[in-house]
Amino acid sequence: MTSKRCRLAVLASGRGSNFRAIAQSCQREDFPAEIACLITDNATSGAIAGAEALSIPVSIVDAGKRRGRLADGVEEGIADICETASVDFILLAGFMRILSGPMLDRFAGRIINIHPSLLPSFPGLHAQRQALEFGARIAGCTVHFVDASVDGGPIILQAAVPVFDDDDVESLRERILGEEHRVVSRAVELLATGRLRIEGRRVLGDDDIH
């Protein structure tokens, strides 16, 4: 590929399977994005080893003790890291802290998140458990733009999976993750090639964006 690749910052807190999935896609010569940096609030995140193996710069931020929130000043610091790395887009791949201000201001319309439910059903924590406890027959995942709401921004892509009678949280999580890994790469590809536009709540593409 001769044209310039988009630069992506990935923010992750957990096992890092979505990080590895997008990193693998970025290894493809024809993929329109590269990972410029990994930012994590968890020094034991599985994403770190994946990044180091690919010589992707890693920043570990001390996000403070408030669950789900960033301590004062940390979000500015994350935005500074992204700017210094000249990133075009930001992917939240299991980042367990809410972005509330500086990132949304400085990267408006350029931050996307992957969530393990078919939004608007089951936003927030423990989406798989919520789906099981509600008795949903279909579960899935959603990639959406990030705004000031929790898991409420305009939807880019979704994928569905069945819920089986003998599912538990772990089996459902694994089935959904299989789809997450596929749609997260597809969403980055669409974003990086400028094929998405937001009209109100709807995200429209030049062609079939599924």
Give the C-alpha separation, 105 to 139, whole Å: 32
Is 140 among the residues that bind ligand GRF (CB under 6 A)? no
Specify the residue, 17 or 59, whose C-beta has the smaller distance to ligand GRF: 17
Stretch that binds ligand GRF, among 31-39, 68-76, 100-108, 112-120 (CB under 6 A): 112-120
List, in order, residues 6 or more apart from 143 with CB less than 8 Å away.
112, 113, 114, 115, 155, 156, 157, 158, 183, 184, 187
The answer to whether residue 110 forms part of the interface with ligand GRF (CB under 6 A) is no
Residue 115: active-site member: yes
28 lies in the site for ligand GRF, by CB under 6 A: no
With 0-12 / 13-18 / 19 or more C-beta atoms within 10 angstroms meaning exposed / middle / buried, residue 13 is buried
From 8-16, 80-88, 131-139, 158-166, span contacting ligand GRF (CB under 6 A): 8-16
**150: closest CA among 176, 179, 127, 173?**
127
Cα distance between residue 19 and residue 134, in whole Å? 29
Query: Any contact of residue 185 with ligand GRF (CB under 6 A)?
Result: no
Residue 135 is which amino acid? Answer: G
Residues 148-177 that bind ligand GRF (CB under 6 A): 177
Interacting residue with ligand GRF among 9, 16, 103, 175 (CB under 6 A): 16
Q: Cβ of residue 51: shortest distance to ligand GRF, in angstroms?
A: 13
